[in-house]
Structure 1
């Protein structure tokens, strides 16, 4: 039996006030393609389907289109859990009725011990889902003595392991932060000060653990305890991530997994260098539509650098100028101050006209600066 493990779609997300809906649609189409080409028997989504608990209408429409194609047109069951970005109550609306259509929304903590059974050939897999939760919720629902995220997660995992059958392959789906795993800037903290971390050790009795929340593909503790990672880069800290989904194959005696890459509509990159060099590069860059963070190393003043950059790289989203922040000993005497003003004007003139200041113009502006300084002295 084969299933795809994915998570952290964050449908409806904006990045630097730019909608990523078209980018998300582009990679979701690739997931559809993998379901077809790999003859996948189920799709597992480990939380953060939406980017916020009340998603925009277009985000809901996109998810509806995608789920309809997978469940109704391709007859492939979908199993999903809410993440910390999702509104669990809203997401699981109609979940009992939707089961018959092949959409299994495991959003009720009180039903974590009830698996979804999927059979392909002679293999049956039991999928258990633990939606995002916090210690207070678990304590109140189960009258359990839990005070931390780790306590709560361990309690729920133990509840499942006491009822799961040994004659079936057992898969756990959870949205949590495993201790020691690699995080990214785009993930919303579950709590303050690292209290949200949980141990992987209670999960070792499962045949596969499909995790969500962290955006980098990785495993922790055991190779079968995996984060698939997000489907797109959602921060520049993820520039080097290889985004994709995880294809899991369950046989009678083994469980194997492999990474299936997703190619973005626009990549997310960091470019560093002097403005003129970057502008020349942008004229021939075949991927000039990518989302960019640009770090300018120029040490002189630049007029409208963002406008110039967007002429060749239309999706520059963030600009940094570390070269302008270089510090050193500054002698603020009158002579150096006058020279600095003249140099700044020369830079300004070049930025406006594209030509250097002529000797006559240079002499004229020097005279103006001298006159202004003389008047300042007389006041």
Structure 2
């Protein structure tokens, strides 16, 4: 059995008000090429297909084109789960009818023990999917008293484990945050306060675990428990990450081997640091001047209209930082502040306005409000 594991397409995403749809189409065409050349038996998409719960029409059209090309033109089945950026109800619309064409959308939490079984030359493989969910939803669907993301995920994985058959290979697909894995700035937190982490240990007995949510390609806990990573760089913190997809092969004994297949972006995402004049001169000769760029100027004197001049050589400058111009304050500290979550930022705002820190009860009320707003956005 040979299949491709991919995730975190985020179709329809904008970066600093620039649409990345053309960039996404470019790498998804490479995915189609890999499917042809590797002659895979299936394609797995582990969540965050869209970038938001109500995607623009252009994003829906691109996804329709790609899935049609895979399932209809190439005749390869696709198995996908919704992620935290997707609306599970919208993504799984028509899922029962779409099965007939080879598109398997595993978005129903109550049906997680029902696998998609695909035959291959090395035997049948059962694919089980856990769409993104939270403890409250698990309590409502399964009437199980789980309080944390870890308890909820462990319960679901154990439920699936009891349904697996010993005489076939079993693959788990999940959109979650394995504790200790490497994060990126472009990922939306699953909960407030770091309680979204889950344990890898319940997943160890599966032949392969295809994970989504984190954007850096990586394994966690065991070699066969893997994040494929996102198909593009979605923040400047990802500039050194090697984006791609994961080719997985299961032998007749269910042992998995993995190969990272790189995806070459239409425009890379880079951070360029130095003095203004030096950056301008190197930009004139840069063969990749169309890349998305963050410029970090080290000059200590004022420069008239630097962004306009920089865009003459780097048309896609999206951010400009001038740490050398700061008389007081710490640029790195400010950057760290921007990375913090909604609760921490509101706490800072409250303290600046009122002159005192929020009480425990106030923090609890604000946290509940933020969680409620995030859930409303996901379900919208």
Q: TM-score, normalised by structure 1?
A: 0.86
Is residue 174 of structure 1 aligned with residue 167 of structure 2? no
Q: CA deviation at 1:326?
A: 4.5
Q: Distance in 2 between matches of 1:75 and 1:249?
A: 19
CA contact (8 A) 2:122 2:251 kept: no
1:283 is the counterpart of 2:284: yes
Deviation digits for residues 323-378 of structure 1, max 9, x if unmatched? 101559xxxxxxxxxxxxxxxxxxxxxxxxxxxxxxxxxxxxxxxxxxxxxxxxxx
Secondary structure of 1:270 counterpart: strand
User: 1:375 matched to which residue of 2?
Assistant: none
User: For this pair of structures, how many residues does the alignment match?
Assistant: 328
Q: What's the offset of the Cα at 1:47? A: 0.1
Helix, strand or coil for the counterpart of 1:120? coil
Stretches of structure 1 lacking an aligned partner (at least 5 in a row): 329-379
The corresponding residue for 1:187 is: 187
| Structural mapping, 1:1-379, within 5 Å | 1-253=1-253, 254-327=255-328
* Structure number with bigger Rg: 1
For 1:106 and 1:61, the matched residues in 2 are separated by 21
Alpha-carbon distance in structure 1 between the residues aligned to 2:6 and 2:122 = 24
Quote the Cα distance in structure 2 between the aligned partners of 1:219 and 1:38: 22
Q: CA deviation at 1:143?
A: 0.7
* DSSP 3-state at the match of 1:75: coil
| Divergent runs of 4+, >3 A | none
Distance (Å, rounded) in 2 between the aligned partners of 1:317 and 1:202: 42
**Which residue does 1:355 correspond to in 2?**
none
Aligned equivalents of 2:240, 2:148: Cα separation in 1: 33
Q: Secondary structure at the match of 2:33?
A: helix
CA contact (8 A) 2:232 2:243 kept: yes
8 Å contact 2:7–2:213 — kept in the other structure? yes
CA distance in 1, matches of 2:122, 2:227: 27
Distance 1:120 1:281 in 2: 53
The 1-side partners of 2:29 and 2:120 are apart by 24
Secondary structure class of the residue paired with 2:9 = coil
Q: Counterparts of 1:195 and 1:225 in 2: how far apart (Å)?
A: 21
Equivalent-residue separation in structure 2 for 1:131 and 1:185 (angstroms): 22
* Cα separation, 2, equivalents of 1:145 and 1:327: 51
CA RMSD of the aligned region, Å? 0.8
Contact 2:184–2:215, Cα closer than 8 Å, also in 1: yes
2:171 alignment partner, SS class: strand
Q: CA deviation at 1:88?
A: 0.3
Q: Alpha-carbon deviation of 1:122?
A: 3.7
- Cα shift readout 1:210-257 (whole Å, capped 9, x = no counterpart): 000000000111000000000000000001100000000011122101
Give the Å deviation of 1:121.
Answer: 1.7
Write out per-residue CA displacement over residues 19-56 of structure 1, whole angstroms, 9 at most, x where no aligned residue: 00000000000000000111111000000000000000
Aligned partners of 1:184 and 1:163: how far apart in 2?
A: 34
Unaligned runs of 5+ in 2: 330-380
Shift, 1:145, TM fit: 1.3
